């Protein structure tokens, strides 16, 4: 979200509110990452607060990414403002992964939605609040039904899965995307930043409380809608007009793969989902942010070496981050059903078609931009070459 926080040439100091939110975010992040937070669960006040290892790793990754974004910010961007706004966003992420149940998560989503909707954008406040409100309603009602058990429990499992999709703004709740809107105001913040953290913290919590039939409904919904999003996102990223829209649908497709992995419930499937969401936040989102200036100028690009590397990365080719994700997801799908693995393979090939189009839209970064792109490629290589390290950090 680098160049979009301040107007070009602007070196404005952060406002009092932003400073307050940044300090609050920093405090929340420190609290969420502190080892003592697990001890709160032992207190007799009924607040079972904890952070799952996968969500903790994502939080640490976001902090590192923020540090790099501040260090490599273009000279036209106010570094202080970027740091403070980034800390506020990471703090919101920390709050989202720390809350212990879907009711509290829904409430935090509502607040995040309202805070996000106050940012300047083309769409009105009320319209932008609808997505988070729907997600909060689905999570709250779903968890209530799961607690009721019986046939209502299965309806609840369905609502929880749909709530996760509504948070991310995926099909069937695809949010309006305005390419001209700054990334920090657009719906991509939900798809690529907040929703991955919610998925990594919420899914393990709700699954342990569900009965086998409820778990089956939850998993089947995730797999079915994951395949729909993978196929639709892959096709749209390839065929839709406008490179910004193509990038948006590439996020949808990657989320589809993560949803299928989450729904497979096997260790390999969950590991694939975790790595996919980690790569979404640490690789794909920074790549999109690097591509934004070129996307807005609509300059026709040609393929240079860096673009070819990015295309291979986005296609999920070895040794980049997408490769272990695809390998693990296919292995888990094969263990469940070869027909599912076949469908998944076809859709993965379809989603790879758009990679050269997306890579071309990055343009030809120079100076700091080139260093930033190099770091993103290095992160992707680290995820692709040593997934075991990241899986161990995520508790797999």
Partner 1 sequence: MHALPLLAAGVAWFGATLTALAEGRRGFALGLALSGAGLAGVQLGAGRPLNALLLAGAALLSATLRLRDGPRGWGLLPPGSTPGIVLSIVVLVACVLLAGALLQGAAGIPSLAPLAVALVAAGRVFTVVQRQPALAAASALALALAGFGSLAATVAGGLVAVALAAIPAATAEEAAG
118 belongs to the binding site for partner 1 (CB under 8 A):
yes
- Encoded tokens for 66: 């923020």
235 belongs to the binding site for partner 1 (CB under 8 A):
no
Task: Please say which residue, 27 or 386, places its beta carbon nearer to partner 1.
Answer: 27
Give helix 195-209 / helix 125-148 axis angle, nearest 10°.
20
Distance CA 251, CA 264 (A): 20
Helices (H), 72-101: 79-98
152 belongs to the binding site for partner 1 (CB under 8 A):
yes
Task: Please say which residue, 49 or 371, places its beta carbon nearer to partner 1.
Answer: 49
Distance CA 394, CA 396 (A): 6
- Encoded tokens for 98: 């720390």
Task: Please say which residue, 21 or 350, places its beta carbon nearer to partner 1.
Answer: 21
Distance CA 303, CA 355 (A): 12
Distance CA 310, CA 333 (A): 27
**Minimum CB distance to partner 1, residue 187 (Å):** 16
Task: Please say which residue, 86 or 106, places its beta carbon nearer to partner 1.
Answer: 106
In b/e form, how buried is each residue of 59-71, taking b as 16+ CB within 10 angstroms? bebbbebbebbbe
Contact track, partner 1, 128-147, x by CB under 8 A: -xx--xx-xx--xx-xx--x
Distance CA 51, CA 35 (A): 10
Q: Which residue among 14, 22, 52, 106 contacts partner 1 (CB under 8 A)?
A: 106
47 belongs to the binding site for partner 1 (CB under 8 A):
yes
Q: Which of 310, 290, 308, 279 is nearest to 385 (CA)?
A: 279
125 belongs to the binding site for partner 1 (CB under 8 A):
yes
Q: Which residue among 24, 60, 111, 375 contacts partner 1 (CB under 8 A)?
A: 111
Rule CB under 8 A: which residues touch partner 1? 45-49, 99-101, 103-104, 106-108, 110-111, 113-114, 118, 124-127, 129-130, 133-134, 136-137, 140-141, 143-144, 147-148, 150-152
């Amino acid at each position: 979200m680098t160049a979009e926080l301040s107007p070009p040439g602007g070196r404005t100091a952060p406002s009092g509110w932003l400073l307050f939110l940044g300090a609050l975010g920093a405090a929340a992040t420190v609290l969420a990452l502190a080892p003592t937070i697990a001890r709160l669960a032992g207190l007799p006040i009924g607040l079972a607060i904890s952070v799952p290892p996968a969500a903790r790793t994502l939080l640490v990754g976001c902090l590192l990414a923020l540090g790099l974004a501040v260090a490599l910010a273009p000279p036209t961007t106010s570094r202080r403002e970027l740091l403070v706004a980034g800390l506020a966003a990471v703090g919101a992420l920390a709050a989202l992964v720390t809350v212990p149940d879907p009711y509290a998560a829904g409430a935090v989503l509502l607040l995040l939605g309202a805070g996000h909707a106050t940012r300047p954008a083309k769409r009105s406040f009320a319209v932008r609040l609808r997505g988070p409100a729907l997600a909060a309603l689905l999570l709250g009602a779903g968890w209530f039904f799961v607690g009721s058990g019986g046939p209502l429990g299965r309806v609840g499992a369905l609502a929880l899965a749909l709530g996760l999709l509504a948070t991310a703004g995926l099909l069937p709740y695809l949010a309006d995307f305005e390419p001209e809107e700054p990334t920090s105001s657009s719906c991509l913040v939900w798809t690529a930043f907040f929703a991955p953290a919610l998925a990594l913290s919420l899914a393990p919590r709700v699954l342990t409380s569900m009965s086998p039939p409820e778990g089956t409904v939850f998993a089947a919904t995730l797999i079915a809608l994951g395949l729909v999003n993978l196929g639709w996102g892959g096709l749209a990223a390839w065929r839709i007009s406008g490179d910004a829209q193509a990038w948006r649908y590439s996020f949808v497709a990657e989320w589809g793969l993560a949803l299928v992995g989450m729904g497979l419930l096997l260790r390999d499937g969950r590991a694939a989902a975790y790595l996919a969401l980690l790569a979404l936040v640490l690789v794909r989102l920074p790549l999109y942010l690097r591509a934004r200036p070129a996307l807005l100028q609509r300059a026709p690009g040609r393929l240079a070496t860096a673009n070819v590397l990015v295309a291979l990365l986005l296609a999920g080719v070895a040794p980049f981050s997408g490769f272990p994700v695809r390998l693990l997801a296919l292995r888990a799908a094969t263990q469940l059903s070869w027909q599912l693995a076949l469908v998944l393979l076809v859709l993965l090939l379809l989603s790879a078609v758009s990679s050269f189009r997306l890579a071309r839209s990055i343009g030809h970064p120079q100076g700091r931009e080139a260093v930033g792109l190099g770091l993103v490629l290095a992160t992707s290589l680290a995820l692709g070459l040593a997934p075991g390290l990241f899986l161990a950090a995520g508790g797999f």
